[in-house]
Amino acid sequence: MSEVYAVRRGLLRDRYAAAGSAAALVSRPANVRYLAGGAPPGAVLLLGPADDVLLCPRAPTGAPAHGRPDEGLRVSVLAGTDDDPVVAAAALAGGLDAGSLSVEEHDLTVSRHRAMGSAAPGLRLCDLGTSVEQLRLVKDEEEIACLRIAAEITDQALGELLESILVGRTERHLALELERRLVDHGADGPAFATSVGTGPHSGQGRHRPTDRRVEEGDFLSVCLGANYHGYRCEIGRTFVIGTSPADWQIELYDLVFAAQRAGREALRPGAGYRDVDHAARHLLVSAGHSDCLRPSTGHGVGLEIDEDPQLAPTAMGKLDACVPVTVEPGVHLPGRGGVRIDDTLVVRPEADGGPELLTITTKELLAL
Amino acid sequence: MSEVYAVRRGLLRDRYAAAGSAAALVSRPANVRYLAGGAPPGAVLLLGPADDVLLCPRAPTGAPAHGRPDEGLRVSVLAGTDDDPVVAAAALAGGLDAGSLSVEEHDLTVSRHRAMGSAAPGLRLCDLGTSVEQLRLVKDEEEIACLRIAAEITDQALGELLESILVGRTERHLALELERRLVDHGADGPAFATSVGTGPHSGQGRHRPTDRRVEEGDFLSVCLGANYHGYRCEIGRTFVIGTSPADWQIELYDLVFAAQRAGREALRPGAGYRDVDHAARHLLVSAGHSDCLRPSTGHGVGLEIDEDPQLAPTAMGKLDACVPVTVEPGVHLPGRGGVRIDDTLVVRPEADGGPELLTITTKELLAL
């Protein structure tokens, strides 16, 4: 396992060395974890100019949050309780005459960046940009295996909920129960705040559960996902409560289903991000729903629940094999509710059978 | 209600005007909420140079997270889905010839700060510092009322758990059940991730629940709190499982109890932060536990669960009346477990009866 992290750090080293830096400081938590294999909260990773060091704030109590750091890394726990690891890293790099240090300017606050400059006046701070995020785009099979387990757990939690009585229960309670079931089945926790929307709340992307109760005739939308060893997946389904969906419900469901299928079928190595979005979006726009669409049709998943790529109308770039993404079009009609269908899939070449669907709960319109 | 927020904004205006700024941009979420009364995720608040504006990112879906903004505020929803509200605010302030704009450098990333500079080249960006955090230190009675309700909910959730069978259940399940009960009793959600530690995990500050099951003879430490209308409180208790605590357990409990009481009794307007810490800490140090103590004995609570003041050995400053803080000393013996006792209290003058204890669950050593 240790090798994986060393290889990743080597790839990053090539990037910042090519940009003329002797060292880099990685501070964004998901990026630290990606390169270190596990780190206590607040830890940062200094790569070069000598050996790589994971700098950890003092006095982490309780179990390590995300597994243990790679054994190939030197771990340094700061002495002072108020010490900021990024400032300590700057002092260390400055003391080693690194010359320049690449930092994640999209993560560091202005105050921390300034404190780094003060701690190492001779050090030139430059921008590492989103180099680590770019390395994280394409997943290896071990990462995909974690996502696959996360999806299995998610399907199990959702499947159990569907077997229970739903009418009369509140959105908040259903959301909490889903989260409990995720943990029951082995999740480290929910991948994000579980969303449950009933009736007029249904069909929204990240609706926060309220005290509204499930009623006969409602649409019920749920969106949940497990975090398994740090990897996060997502599933969204919409159901109808009661025996006979109304005509408008069937019609809307069929439309969103068709859009979601079109999006899934557009996933292939080389497909433009915007083309996948268009495949799903244009069906909803043609049906007159352009006003109520969300800015993107899907997004990457991995160590964060919402990472690159964004499947959106203005997104630049093309999909690669082994990139996991969500496809999650939806329509929400204000005052009435709506439908949202969301899967996590891994982009695969056609020769390998096309996109690998991780979240396999049925997408038929179930009447519960 | 609207007046409260206008008054708060007026106080902040005095501060940045005194520092020579014509306008300020507040971006830290809890600070935005404090001044705006409620805001969708990602919203930022521009005060001056003309009327105050809450700039919101486009397409917030679902219910507003934290109540509605104050009606006295102009609300502006950005047109583009990729638009960053802080950049839009800089452009707006630049267009109004504000001259200089105070920003929260401890919140803004270097990248966002730079994008603001590019959007408004004529605008001088200076540092607002923690002005809003300082305003938030002393709470008004309405804020304290929210904390009081949060504490009632927390006591109820904990009380119910104590009536149930605990042996054989995992830390994770107990934590999830506590969170469900918080919501049952009216919390908007947990104030922070609920901590449950059994046996060797007991007595730690923010132990993350594992799959360890409660056993006879264990110490059981729980730490939880409700979020009510954005205000967050905290309670921590340690129990012993089974009928007869061991001598070392009774001894350790009595010690931490005495330290926590000393900390509570040191709370009064004018007391130094470090003096409150010392009152609790020195008892634990005298008993030989200096190695395993956390850096602080308590902290402020409010719109964030961990805000100023810090009750720590090197903290500067003195308590004011109406500052809510936690007092939470603990001792953790590696491999054996430990004790932690944590209350939320409001500093009050002696004439008003001294510190107001919000979390009233008993601190006797209960054998469950």
Which domains does chain A possess? 2-136 (3.40.350.10), 141-357 (3.90.230.10)
Instruction: Please report residues of A whose CB lies closer than 8 A to that of B62.
Output: 195, 197, 201, 204-208
**How many other CB atoms sit within 10 Å of the CB of residue B216?**
11
pLDDT at A144: 98
pLDDT at B71: 81
Which residue of chain A is at minimal alpha-carbon distance from B112? Answer: A106
Report DSSP state, residue A192. S
Instruction: Please report residues of A whose CB lies closer than 8 A to that of B179.
Output: 176
Report whether A175 contacts B180 (CB < 8 A). Answer: no
Instruction: Please report residues of A whose CB lies closer than 8 A to that of B210.
Output: 63
pLDDT at A66: 52
Express each pLDDT in B23-46 by its tens digit: 999 999 999 999 999 888 899 999
Question: Do B110 and A113 lie within an 8 Å CB cutoff?
Answer: yes
Express each pLDDT in A88-116 by its tens digit: 999 999 988 878 999 999 999 999 999 99
> Mean pLDDT, to the nearest integer, of A152-162?
96
User: To the nearest whole percent, how much of chain B has pLDDT over 90?
Assistant: 79
Does B72 have pLDDT greater than 90?
Answer: no
User: To the nearest whole percent, how much of chain A has pLDDT over 90?
Assistant: 79
Does A61 have pLDDT greater than 60?
Answer: no
Question: Do A201 and B58 lie within an 8 Å CB cutoff?
Answer: no
pLDDT at B293: 86
Q: Provide the CA A200 distance to its chain's centre, in angstroms.
A: 27
Instruction: Please report residues of B whose CB lies closer than 8 A to that of A295.
Output: 58-59, 81-82
B111 Cα to chain A: minimum distance (Å): 5
Which residue of chain A is at minimal alpha-carbon distance from B180? Answer: A176
Element spanning A259, H or E: helix A247-265
Does A288 have pLDDT greater than 60?
Answer: yes
Question: Do B197 and A111 lie within an 8 Å CB cutoff?
Answer: no
pLDDT at B59: 57
Which residue of chain B is at minimal alpha-carbon distance from A128? Answer: B111
pLDDT at A158: 97
Is this complex's ipTM strictly greater than 0.95?
no
pLDDT at B127: 96
pLDDT at B1: 54
Express each pLDDT in B203-249 by its tens digit: 987 888 998 999 999 999 999 999 999 999 999 999 999 888 999 99
pLDDT band, very low/low/confident/very high, at A62 (cuts 50, 70, 90): very low
pLDDT at B61: 47
- Amino acid found at A146: C
pLDDT at A59: 57
Does B355 have pLDDT greater than 90?
Answer: yes
pLDDT at A190: 94
- Amino acid found at B288: G
> Mean pLDDT, to the nearest integer, of B93-108?
92
Question: Do B176 and A176 lie within an 8 Å CB cutoff?
Answer: yes
pLDDT at A41: 86
C-alpha pair distances (Å), B175 with each of A83, A143, B131, B190, B339: 31, 28, 36, 10, 18
The chain-wide mean pLDDT, for chain B, equals 93
pLDDT at B60: 42
pLDDT at B63: 41
* Residue from A110, A277, A328 whose CB has the most chain B CBs within 10 Å, to mutate: A110
User: To the nearest whole percent, how much of chain A has pLDDT over 70?
Assistant: 97
Which residue of chain A is at minimal alpha-carbon distance from B126? Answer: A110
Residues in chain A: 368
Express each pLDDT in B183-210 by its tens digit: 889 998 999 999 999 999 999 878 889 9
Name the residue facing A105 among B109, B205, B295 (closest C-beta). B109
The segment with the largest mean pLDDT, out of A3-7, A54-58, A161-165, A324-328, is A324-328
Instruction: Please report residues of B whose CB lies closer than 8 A to that of A208.
Output: 62-63, 65
Taking the C-alpha atoms of residue A213 and residue A198, their distance in angstroms, rounded to an integer, is 7
Q: With an 8 Å Cβ cutoff, is B225 touching chain A? A: no
Q: With an 8 Å Cβ cutoff, is A111 touching chain B? A: yes
Q: With an 8 Å Cβ cutoff, is A165 touching chain B? A: no
Which long-range contacts (C-beta less than 8 Å, at least 24 apart) are formed by A157-166?
Answer: A157/A181, A157/A182, A157/A184, A157/A185, A157/A187, A157/A224, A157/A226, A158/A222, A158/A224, A158/A235, A158/A237, A158/A361, A159/A361, A161/A222, A162/A239, A162/A366, A162/A368, A166/A214, A166/A220, A166/A241, A166/A368
B104 Cα to chain A: minimum distance (Å): 9
Express each pLDDT in B291-319 by its tens digit: 888 889 999 999 999 999 999 999 999 99
pLDDT band, very low/low/confident/very high, at A64 (cuts 50, 70, 90): very low
Report whether B241 contacts B301 (CB < 8 A). Answer: no
- What is the value of pTM for the model shown? 0.88
Instruction: Please report residues of A whose CB lies closer than 8 A to that of B176.
Output: 176, 179-180, 183
Instruction: Please report residues of A whose CB lies closer than 8 A to that of B208.
Output: 62-63, 65
Q: With an 8 Å Cβ cutoff, is A173 touching chain B? A: yes
Question: Do A114 and B105 lie within an 8 Å CB cutoff?
Answer: yes
Q: In A, residues 308-347, which contact B (CB 8 Å cutoff)?
A: 312, 314, 332
The chain-wide mean pLDDT, for chain A, equals 93
Instruction: Please report residues of A whose CB lies closer than 8 A to that of B107.
Output: 109
Question: Do B63 and A201 lie within an 8 Å CB cutoff?
Answer: yes
pLDDT band, very low/low/confident/very high, at A324 (cuts 50, 70, 90): very high
